[in-house]
C-alpha cells in the first residue's frame, strides 16, 4: 500500500513520526486485524506491506492510521491538511514475489538520492513477518 501526503509535503521522515507509525502498526493486529510487514517511510509518502481480515478492516485501518499520524503532525506544528484522499493498493498475485516487490520499495530512498544504500535509511523496517 502507498499513502501520500497532501501536495507531497515532506512531513513523514522524522523520528517522532516514525515512532508514532511504529506504535500504531505494532498494535494493529489486536486492534484492527491488520498485520504490517515491511515498510518504508519516505518524506512525502509511506509504503507498507499489510495483511488484513477483509477490505472493510483495511479501509478502517487506513482511516485510523491517517488520524493517528495527523494528531502527531499537529503536535509537531504541521498544519493540515496532511493527506491525499484514499490510498493506493496492490494485491500480490501468485506470480509475484513479496521479496521482489520489497526490493523495489526498499530502493525508494536510494532512487530519491536520500541515501547511498537502502540499509542506511533509518525509516524502514519490518514489524511482522508476513508469509505469502
Q: What is the pLDDT of residues 3-39, one digit of tens each?
A: 899 999 999 999 999 999 999 999 999 988 899 999 9
pTM of the predicted model as reported, rounded to 2 decimal places:
0.89
Would the pLDDT of 54 be above 90?
no
Q: What's the whole-number mean pLDDT along residues 90-104?
A: 70
Confidence at residue 123, expressed as pLDDT on a 0 to 100 scale: 98
CA distances from 109 to 24, 58, 122 (A): 22, 26, 10
Q: For residue range 58-93, what is the model confidence (pLDDT) as tens digits?
A: 888 989 999 999 999 999 999 999 998 866 565 565
For residues 36 and 120, give the distance between their C-alpha atoms in angstroms, rounded to a whole number. Answer: 21
Helix, strand, coil percent content, the chain, rounded in steps of 5:
45, 20, 35
Confidence at residue 84, expressed as pLDDT on a 0 to 100 scale: 84
Residue 54 grid coordinates: 477483509
Amino acid at each position: 500500500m502507498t499513502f501520500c501526503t497532501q501536495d507531497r509535503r515532506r512531513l513523514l521522515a522524522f523520528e517522532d513520526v516514525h515512532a508514532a507509525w511504529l506504535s500504531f502498526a505494532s498494535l494493529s493486529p489486536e486492534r484492527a486485524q491488520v498485520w504490517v510487514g515491511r515498510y518504508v517511510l519516505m518524506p512525502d509518502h509511506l509504503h507498507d506491506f499489510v495483511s488484513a481480515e477483509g477490505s472493510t478492516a483495511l479501509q478502517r485501518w487506513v482511516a485510523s492510521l491517517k488520524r493517528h499520524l495527523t494528531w502527531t503532525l499537529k503536535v509537531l506544528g504541521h498544519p493540515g491538511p496532511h493527506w491525499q484522499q484514499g490510498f493506493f493498493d496492490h494485491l500480490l498475485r501468485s506470480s509475484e514475489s513479496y521479496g521482489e516487490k520489497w526490493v523495489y520499495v526498499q530502493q525508494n530512498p536510494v532512487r530519491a538520492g536520500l541515501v547511498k544504500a537502502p540499509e542506511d535509511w533509518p525509516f524502514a523496517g519490518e514489524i511482522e513477518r508476513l508469509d505469502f
